[in-house]
Each structure stands twice: as C-alpha cells, then as structure tokens.
C-alpha cells in the first residue's frame, strides 16, 4: 500500500474561476488515487471558489471528498462549507453543518448569524447571537454588523441599543463597518438624531451610510430638507459611477419632489445621464413628477415620452397621466395633451370627469387653431 503523503499544490490560484473547477476535481481524484492527502487549506480555497461561482454541484462533490477524508470536523473547512452552502441558497444544509460542529469559532457563528439575517429571518439571527454570547464567544465587527442589520429589519430599537452599548464597552465603536450598521439601525428605527450622530463620526461615509440617512430623513414629515442637504453633499463629493449606482435614487428624487427641489433634481438627472446609470422606472417617474410640480412641463413630457418609447409596457399611475394632461393643457400644449390621452386609453386607464373636461378643452383649442389656419 502506498504511503500517504500530505501534499499542497502551490498554483491553486488558477482554480479560483469556475472554468477551472473540473480540472481541480480531476487533480483531487488523481491525488487520492496516488495516495496523496491534500492539505486542508486546498479544500478551503476550492470551497471559496465554489461560493464565488455559486456552483453548488461542485461544492457538494468536494464536500463528499472532505467527508471521505475525515476532515469535516476541521473548523476552517467546516466554516468554508457553511459559507458555500449559504451563498448557494442552502441555509438548511449550512445549519445542519453548524449544529454538527464539535468546535465553533467566531467565524462559524458569524457566518450562520449573517445567513439568517440575509434570508429574512432576523429574529432567528438575533436568537443565535444571544446563544453565541451565552457560550462566551466574543463577537467581532462582522458579527455586530450582522445583528445590527437584524435589529434594523425588525425595527427593534431596544435590542439595537443593547448591542450598541456592548460595542462601546468593548471599544469596537471606532470600526467603520459597525458605524454604518449603527446608522442604518437607528435610521430604520426612526431615530434620526442618533443616526446622524453616528453618521457624522464616519470620515468618508459609504453609499450604504448615505442611503440609510437619506431614506431615514425622507420618511420623516419634516426630514426632506436634510435629505436634500445630503444629496448635495454627495454630488459635491464628485461621487464616481459605482458610488452613485449604490445610492437610492428613487428616495433621493422623491425627496426633491416633496419640496420641489428643482435644481437638486436636475443635478441628479444630469448625473444619471452622464453615468448612463438606469435607476429604475420608479425613480424616473418620480423625476417626471418633480418636473411637473416645478412647472417644467416640457421637460416632464420629454422624459415621460422617452420612458414609454423604451419601455412600452411601463405601468404609469392614473394620477400621473392626469397631472401630465392637465399641465399640458395649462401650458397650451394641447396636441401633446391629446396624444397623452390617447396613450392613456390604450393602457386601459379610465379617466375621471375632470380630466375629460380638460381633454374637451384641448380638443376645442386644437379645432380652433385648425379653423384659423383654413
């Protein structure tokens, strides 16, 4: 019988991509047949590659090989297995592995806590956190960020403050990752003063921090001016395309529309055009409403018509059809009003009596013009 040797292959980086996974499995099989025992770190790298590629099939095959080698109890391998199953959407498999681990470290706990939070099971995420603390496992920054996110989802201010105090006691409150999570938690709980206090401690706020603050202010009755200030700050920072794409444009434009912040809205619109980023139909319709509220009917019509050219199936609320038609008639753009009315009917949107009166007015005006030409 061939003597088993531990062996680690140096060039493992070339297996980081999905197209190399087949070769990786073939090499593992060759090593097994030759009595060579792969180093556990090789399995960790391969499992990480499977997670990056969302390749459950190959990951499960590697898992079987790990079991055959008797390495499933290795805490580092088990952590990577949990991570792979979580990323591939197999939370029950990840939990089964977690429950079967003889020894769990902070990475094990954080992985499963984060997984439950991401799966929308925030209450279970917090329950696991309490179990972790009870077992005297010290959380790290990623653990705190995950449980604060769960508090935000549940709007559990009391639990969030409890965790915040623990963060302060352990001198972890200087960690930017935790600061952003605190901003989001307090904003989601409607505590904007506390959210702003944490936000102002961040030297260079991330898109997530900005978005949390803007969303939070937009949900307050008198918070829109503060949201506008943050929007201007973002634009003044000269945010790059990636930064801009991660920000909630829908909320930003809605904030502008609520206080008729035309200049800020135009700046956002110009930025969208410059970067070529599509913020979604909802945000673009909000921009149409902003232009209407600021009596920029032609700009509103131009944007609205462009939307319907590229997205003919776009759902437009009845009130926006009416607002566009009313504004067009008021501005003397009667032909545009009639074109809009025709499109509206083709979408099976029923007009009310006030709108019909406006359309009749537009018909009369157009007829009078035609008569005058004759």
Over the chain (374 residues), the average pLDDT of each successive run of 10 is 43 52 74 79 86 88 90 93 95 96 95 95 98 96 97 98 96 90 96 96 88 85 79 76 62 73 80 72 84 91 82 80 94 93 90 91 81 54
> Same domain for 184 and 111?
no
183 in a structural domain: yes
Quick one: 72 exposed, middle or buried, by C-beta within 10 A (0-12, 13-18, 19+)? middle
Which of 56, 87, 119 finishes a domain?
119
> Same domain for 112 and 24?
yes
pLDDT at 311: 72
Which of 239, 256, 278 finishes a domain?
278
- Neighbouring-strand partners of residue 6: 37
333 in a structural domain: no
- Neighbouring-strand partners of residue 7: 38
Query: What three-state secondary structure class fits 6?
Result: strand
> Same domain for 114 and 178?
no
pLDDT at 373: 57
pLDDT at 180: 94
pLDDT at 232: 77
> Same domain for 192 and 274?
yes
284 in a structural domain: no
pLDDT at 11: 45
What's the CA gap between 301 and 306, in Å, rounded? 8
73 in a structural domain: yes
342 in a structural domain: no
Helix (H) or strand (E) holding 49: helix 40-53
What's the CA gap between 266 and 271, in Å, rounded? 8
169 in a structural domain: no
Query: What three-state secondary structure class fits 253?
Result: helix
The whole domain housing 86 covers 7-97+107-119
Total domains, the chain: 2
257 in a structural domain: yes
Quick one: 205 exposed, middle or buried, by C-beta within 10 A (0-12, 13-18, 19+)? buried
> Same domain for 114 and 50?
yes
16 in a structural domain: yes
**Over the Cα atoms of the chain, what is R_g?**
29
pLDDT at 283: 78
pLDDT at 370: 66
């Amino acid at each position: 019988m061939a003597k088993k040797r531990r062996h680690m292959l140096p060039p493992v980086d070339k297996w980081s991509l999905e197209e190399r996974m087949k070769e990786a499995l073939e090499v593992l099989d060759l090593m097994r047949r030759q009595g060579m025992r792969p180093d556990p770190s090789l399995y960790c790298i391969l499992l990480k590659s499977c997670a990056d590629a969302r390749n459950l099939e190959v990951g499960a095959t590697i898992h079987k090989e790990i079991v055959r080698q008797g390495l499933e109890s290795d805490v580092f391998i088990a952590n990577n297995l949990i991570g792979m199953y979580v990323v591939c959407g197999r939370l029950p498999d990840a939990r089964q592995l977690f429950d079967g681990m003889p020894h769990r470290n902070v990475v094990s706990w954080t992985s499963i806590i984060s997984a439950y939070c991401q799966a929308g099971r925030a209450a279970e995420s917090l329950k696991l956190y309490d179990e972790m603390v009870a077992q005297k496992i010290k959380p790290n920054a990623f653990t705190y960020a995950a449980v604060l996110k769960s508090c935000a989802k549940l709007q559990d201010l009391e639990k969030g403050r409890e965790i915040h105090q623990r963060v302060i006691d352990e001198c972890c409150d200087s960690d930017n990752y935790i600061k952003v999570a605190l901003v989001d938690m307090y904003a989601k709980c409607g505590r904007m003063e506390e959210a702003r206090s944490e936000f102002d401690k961040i030297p260079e706020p991330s898109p997530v921090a900005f978005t949390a603050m803007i969303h939070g202010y937009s949900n307050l009755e008198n918070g829109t001016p503060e949201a506008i200030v943050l929007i201007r700050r973002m634009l003044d920072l000269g945010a790059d395309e990636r930064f801009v794409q991660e920000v909630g444009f829908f909320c930003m434009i809605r904030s502008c529309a609520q206080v008729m912040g035309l200049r800020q809205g135009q700046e956002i619109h110009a930025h969208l055009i410059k970067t070529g980023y599509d913020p979604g139909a909802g945000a673009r319709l909000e921009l149409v409403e902003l232009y209407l509220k600021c009596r920029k009917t032609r700009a509103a019509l131009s944007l609205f018509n462009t939307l319907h050219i590229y997205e003919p199936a776009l759902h437009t609320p009845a009130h926006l059809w009416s607002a566009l038609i009313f504004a067009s008639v008021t501005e003397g753009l009667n032909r545009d009003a009639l074109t809009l009315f025709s499109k509206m009917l083709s979408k099976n949107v029923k007009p009310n009596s006030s709108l019909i009166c406006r359309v009749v007015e537009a018909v009369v005006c157009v007829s009078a013009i035609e008569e005058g030409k004759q």
